[in-house]
Amino acid sequence: MDFSLILTMYFTLPKIRSSFSRRVEILLIVFCLSVLICINAYGSQNGGSMITVHYPMQNTAKEYGLLGTSISVQDGSADEIKVDVNGLEELTIVPERKFICFTVKLEPGENTIEISAYKLGKKIGSVTKNVFRRSDLSAKLRKIPSSFKRDYFHMKDNAECAECHALTHSEYDMKPVSRANFSSENYDIETIVSTTSTCYSCHKPIASLPFVHGPASVWSCLSCHDPDTSPKYSVLKPDNEICYKCHEEQKNKWLARKYIHGPVTIGKCTICHSPHSSEYPFNLMMSTWDLCTNCHYEKGTGKHIFADRMFTDGHPTKGKDDPYRIGKELSCASCHNAHASEKPHLWSFDVNTLFELCRVCHTEYGS
Ligand code: HEC
Ligand code: HEC
Ligand code: HEC
Ligand code: HEC
Ligand code: HEC
Ligand code: HEC
Ligand code: HEC
Ligand code: HEC
């Protein structure tokens, strides 16, 4: 029932009003107005109280592209839950348990997650959460805006989750990293992982992209995340501190070279590599070409390598087969080492002049 309608009627019907004294009239107006305010406040909170979001909090800041989410809806109130991220429909879930858990993908920058409850095809309530994904690959997204804040899930007691999930880590979360540990047994890796890792039930999607990093593929999460830190499960900074613990061979090789690439010098391996899994070989955050041109924008314009002197269009840097690295596509990494080199411009070959460099691929230039 709409109380504003009653209020309008009251004011437009002088006959009813004239039958009241001035005092009663004022009291009635005050009463109607307060009812109106209460109804409005209740109405706008209705969606919010029907859906309870346990995680994430409003205005959370994250690092990577996956966000574990857990909500509950009033028993029997909804028959379908829809999740939209940045206006695009991402998930549709039929609620079957008290707690509904899912993972959403985040874009770099600000994301709007709208969770809506439906009954018989009609929207009966919705809540919106904003989440910021920080990224070193864009100057604008490097800093978390002041309205967003990192929120550490594992710093809270989360007792309500413990009903179904194991919340204390175990020795199995710090497995030796060799895949052999797993392949030697006769089951599939998923079965072993799901029964031995305490992280798996909530973080399953983190290691499910096509290119999985060694320790993440065997769910040795604690080989990088320390449970005895505050915030809990922190990793050493800068990242190369953890990376070089296992990649000692690379450390010795690269740090001994004359020229070291900017981001490697400052120890930020995870600017380019996901420590968990990714869609690209070497667990790269993007394809090599996209990754490099993100920071070296001008090299992606097609004018790289004496465009003015020899070719009007510049030398190709992608979209061709790499004549030296058979089976790979030509990219920035065809000529440059992403980490370090003995040669100027981080050339990836043992060459001293430009001409020698050209001849690595263009054997027709003679020797
Ligand atoms: C009533 C049991 C129950 C409770 C309570 C519960 N979960 Fe879950 N959760 C599950 C089940 C079962 C799964 C496996 C995925 C599925 O089948 O939906 C799951 C999966 C997840 C996932 C992974 C989703 C994915 O994309 O694979 C996350 C994240 C998660 N839960 C977080 C939480 C958090 C946080 C809490 C506490 C606020 C919580 N859960 C409480 C039952 C529960
Ligand atoms: C009850 C489900 C649950 C379990 C079990 C769980 N996590 Fe989480 N974890 C979450 C949720 C929810 C978040 C916050 C959302 C996100 O980052 O996806 C989170 C966040 C994190 C973070 C980011 C920092 C923070 O506290 O927000 C790290 C690191 C992490 N988890 C590591 C682990 C490791 C390692 C394990 C296993 C030892 C583990 N988690 C087990 C649900 C869980
Ligand atoms: C090789 C080291 C390494 C391994 C192994 C690893 N992580 Fe991480 N993880 C990191 C780093 C580095 C970060 C970024 C931390 C930061 O910047 O605060 C991170 C961040 C996270 C986050 C937070 C992501 C966000 O959006 O902020 C979660 C959740 C997480 N790890 C879970 C896991 C789980 C679960 C496993 C086991 C499958 C795992 N990690 C294995 C290095 C690792
Ligand atoms: C606990 C040991 C461990 C740590 C810590 C570790 N790695 Fe690894 N890494 C491995 C193993 C094992 C492999 C798989 C080697 C193989 O397949 O030959 C690997 C492989 C890789 C690869 C190559 C993937 C490929 O497809 O060839 C990259 C890139 C990489 N790691 C980057 C990193 C970065 C960046 C860090 C730090 C955030 C890191 N690693 C930390 C153990 C580790
Ligand atoms: C600027 C981006 C960038 C940074 C920063 C970076 N890498 Fe890489 N990394 C790459 C690319 C690109 C490749 C693949 C090169 C190719 O195609 O041959 C790669 C390959 C690798 C490999 C596998 C091949 C090899 O050479 O052994 C490992 C291991 C690795 N990186 C570890 C690291 C570690 C550890 C750090 C931090 C010290 C780091 N990377 C920093 C871009 C980067
Ligand atoms: C996060 C930003 C970032 C990314 C991503 C990045 N670079 Fe760089 N790069 C730098 C910085 C910073 C320098 C140092 C700038 C300077 O010294 O003038 C640099 C320098 C270089 C140089 C010049 C070295 C010299 O001595 O002239 C080359 C070549 C180069 N990068 C190639 C690459 C390639 C190839 C990739 C992709 C695998 C890449 N970069 C990805 C930031 C980046
Ligand atoms: C065919 C080989 C080749 C490829 C592919 C290539 N480069 Fe270069 N790059 C060179 C050479 C040669 C130089 C030395 C400077 C020159 O002569 O232009 C150079 C110089 C550079 C420099 C440092 C000098 C400067 O102008 O600041 C950067 C940064 C760089 N390249 C980035 C990239 C990026 C990013 C890509 C991928 C889009 C790429 N290169 C692809 C050969 C290559
Ligand atoms: C990593 C291998 C590589 C290196 C190093 C390299 N090129 Fe190329 N170059 C290519 C590829 C691949 C193409 C494209 C060929 C095609 O279109 O099929 C190409 C195309 C060209 C072309 C266009 C004509 C043609 O053959 O299609 C010229 C000219 C050229 N390169 C000159 C140079 C010069 C000069 C250098 C040294 C500064 C150089 N290249 C270094 C791989 C390389």
Ligand 4 lining (C-beta closer than 6 Å): 177, 213-215, 223-224, 239, 242-243, 245-247, 269-270, 273, 275, 281-283
- CA distances to 79, 95, 124, 299, 328 from 48, rounded to whole Å, are 17, 17, 10, 49, 51
Q: Which amino acid is at 146?
A: S
Q: What is the mean pLDDT of the segment spanning 327-334?
A: 96
Tell which wins on pLDDT, 29 or 137.
Answer: 137
Per-residue confidence band for 14, with pLDDT thresholds at 50, 70 and 90? low
Q: What pLDDT is recorded for position 194? A: 83
Q: What is the mean pLDDT of the segment spanning 173-186?
A: 65
Q: What pLDDT is recorded for position 175? A: 77
Q: What is the mean pLDDT of the chain?
A: 87
Mutate to test the pocket of ligand 8, among 312, 315, 350 (most ligand atoms within 8 A of CB): 315
Q: What pLDDT is recorded for position 301? A: 84
Per-residue confidence band for 329, with pLDDT thresholds at 50, 70 and 90? very high
Does ligand 2 come within 6 angstroms of the Cβ of 154? yes
Per-residue confidence band for 272, with pLDDT thresholds at 50, 70 and 90? very high
Q: Which of 60, 79, 62, 77 is nearest to 128 (CA)?
A: 60
Question: Ligand 1: which atom is nearest the Cα of residue 153?
Answer: 35
Q: How many whole angstroms from 336 Cα to the centroid of ligand 8?
A: 14
* pTM of the complete model: 0.91
Q: What is the mean pLDDT of the segment spanning 165-180?
A: 81
Question: Ligand 3: which atom is nearest the Cα of residue 200?
Answer: 35
What are 347-360's pLDDT values in tens digits?
999 999 999 999 99
Q: What pLDDT is recorded for position 125? A: 93
Cross-strand partners of 88: 85
Mutate to test the pocket of ligand 1, among 91, 99, 101 (most ligand atoms within 8 A of CB): 101
**Does residue 363 have a pLDDT over 50?**
yes
Query: What is the percent of the chain where pLDDT is above 70?
Result: 82
**Does residue 156 have a pLDDT over 70?**
yes
Inter-residue contact 219 to 200 (CB < 8 Å): yes
Per-residue confidence band for 271, with pLDDT thresholds at 50, 70 and 90? very high
**Does residue 299 have a pLDDT over 70?**
yes
Q: How far apart are CA 139 and CA 222, in angstroms?
A: 31
Instruction: Give the closest residue (by CA) to ligand 7 atom 21.
Output: 345
Tell which wins on pLDDT, 67 or 186.
Answer: 67
Residues 6 or more apart whose CB falls under 8 angstroms from that of 127 comprise 47, 48, 51, 53, 114, 115
Q: How many whole angstroms from 214 Cα to the centroid of ligand 4?
A: 5
Alpha helical stretches, state H, 266-332: 288-295
Superfamily of domain 50-163: Immunoglobulins (2.60.40.10)
Q: What is the mean pLDDT of the segment spanning 247-272?
A: 96
